[in-house]
Chain A
Amino acid sequence: MGSKANAPPQIFDRRLKQAHRDRAAHLQSDDDPLLGEVTERLLDRLEDCRRSFPVAAIIGGAGTSVAARLTGARAGVETLLHLDDSPAMLAHAARLQQASQASGTRWPQVHHLAAEEEWLPLREKSVDVIISSLSLHWVNDLPGAMVQCRRALKPDGLFLSAMWGGSTLQELRIAHTLAEQEVEGGLSPRMSPLVQVRDAGNLLTRAGLNIPSVDVDELTVHYGSPSKLVDHLRAMAESNAVYTRRPTMRRATAAAAERIYREKFGAEDGSVPATFEVIYMTGWAPAALQPQALRRGSATVKLEDLAEMQRQRDRAASGAGRSG
């Protein structure tokens, strides 16, 4: 029995993905609106925490968007380890940082490292928060990567991630499927398998992260044409990297896919919509004094009484004359 027998399946070609990221570093706008929006919604969760995160680690994906949004001591971040497997992407991040600092924005101590999310070179219990914005959907061993994140977190550290979910690019998927059947009479993997919402909670629990929470967002982006969408995917380093992919697409198939996309999904103004589903996952590294969910049925107060208690408290607070 070799060690490879237990190895997780290799679905994605990581070397190709690294090349995609190198290329994207030159194609990407300084603040991609889609990556920025998803990242902002992800980081919004930091504001819900009544604590600070002095040491943060960013892994891959839209890391430059994350770094640019952790300035000005947001969430108390003072040290930022930025990991990416693409040297070009790190150089891109460093350039943006310099420009931003030159215009007076205060940045934390940023440290760039060439590393992969699947092989995290972080010491155990070293960081307060790990943020992965749109990177984990390219990882072959997702449970393994999340276990490594949990190990690198200090007790009560936060794992914060966003990744594309199952209905992402459903229009493109359908258009490709129909076009390949029509032109070539068969199918090939043009798109990644993606995580479904129902699996996300299990992933967090399996990684040993406490107080798991999962929620989903759906964004629709309108493009001038299907090929504009494909250009944008390339600039986001989201091109196909499935091992079993076919390296090229026949011109006739591509033309058919474009036609079908417009026919089935096109808007009246000629634009085409694309769906992006985002799965947000948060979980906390176990710690001794962490709040735990209580046993079911152990409540002593009815939920409907809570509202009344809150009203009474508000009245008492305003009666105390804090405004005076």
Chain B
Amino acid sequence: MKLLTHNMLACHIKSVKNGFPFKIEAVRVEEIEADFDPDFLRHIFPRIEYHALREAAETLGAGGLPEQADEASLEDEDFLRAFHHALLEVVLEEGALICPETGRRFPVAKGIPNLLLHEDEC
């Protein structure tokens, strides 16, 4: 699971009011090189909750993102590189996503988060 994916997810248990962002429990994290594409990064930036991304990146040991960022930051090559790295190159292979409200644990195995609910949770 890349942090881009993590940024798009929220806990979907019915009673949960604020299920974003999932906390991350990391067992195995890999760094996988991805093609650097500034246009892609500019398109995705307004669709990302930046603070959640920064926090998740730090959890997985990928620092380097400034505390604040806005559209103007996209002109800065150093920022783009750090943003690219956090978004696409840090991959959670094994671990879990934890609902911030209920603490429900959703496993991540072979890079794929399993967000299926049990019948009694529906």
Across the interface, name the chain A residue whose C-beta is closest to B112: A112
Chain A residues proximal to chain B, CB less than 8 Å:
15, 54-55, 78-79, 81, 85, 87, 90, 109, 111-116, 118-124, 126-128, 148, 154
Chain A residue nearest to B11 (CB atoms) is A121
Pick the contact of B47: A90, A120, A126 (CB < 8 A): A126
Given contact pairs A90-B112, A154-B47, A119 touches B117 in the complex (Cβ within 8 A):
yes
Q: Please count how many residues in chain B sit with their CB below 8 Å of the partner chain's CB atoms.
A: 27
Interface CB pairs A-B, < 8 A, 23:
A85-B116, A109-B4, A111-B2, A111-B5, A112-B111, A113-B5, A113-B9, A113-B112, A113-B115, A114-B112, A114-B113, A116-B116, A119-B115, A119-B122, A120-B12, A122-B9, A123-B9, A123-B10, A123-B21, A124-B10, A126-B8, A126-B47, A127-B8
With a cutoff of 8 Å between Cβ atoms, the chain A residues found around residue B2 in the complex are: 109, 111
Chain B residues lying within 8 Å of A116, measured Cβ to Cβ, are 116-117
| Assembled-state Cα–Cα distance A282/B71 (Å) | 32
In the bound complex, how far is the Cα of B113 from the Cα of A111, in angstroms? 10
Q: How far is the CB of A10 from chain B (nearest CB, A)?
A: 10
| Residues on the B chain within 8 Å of A79, using CB | 4, 44
A87 touching B47, Cβ below 8 Å: no
In the assembled complex, the Cα of A78 lies from the Cα of B47 at a distance in Å of 12
Main secondary structure of the interface of B (DSSP, over half): mixed
| Cβ < 8 Å to A, chain B residues 105-122 | 111-117, 119, 122
Complex Cα distance, B47 from A123, in Å, reads 11
Max chain A Cβ within 10 angstroms of own Cβ: one of B7, B10, B111: B10
Give me 7 other A-B pairs in contact (C-beta within 8 A), A55-B47, A109-B4, A114-B115 excluded.
A55-B8, A79-B4, A114-B112, A116-B116, A121-B9, A123-B21, A127-B8
A-B contact count (CB 8 A): 76
Complexed CA–CA distance, A111 and B20 (Å):
18
**Contact A121 B12, CB 8 Å, known A111-B4, A154-B47:** yes
Proximity string of chain B (88-109) to chain A, C-beta cutoff 8 Å, 1 when within and 0 when not:
1000000000000000000000
Cα distance A171–B10 in the bound complex, in angstroms? 43
Q: Which residue of A lies closest to B111 (CB)?
A: A112
Q: Which residue of A lies closest to B34 (CB)?
A: A109
Specify which chain B residues have a CB less than 8 angstroms from the CB of A115 in the assembled complex: 12, 115-116
Assess whether B43 is in contact with A78, with CB atoms less than 8 Å apart.
yes
Is there a chain A Cβ closer than 8 Å to B75's Cβ? no
Interface: B1 (CB within 8 A): yes
CA distance in complex: A119, B5 (Å): 17
B101 to chain A, nearest CB (A): 14
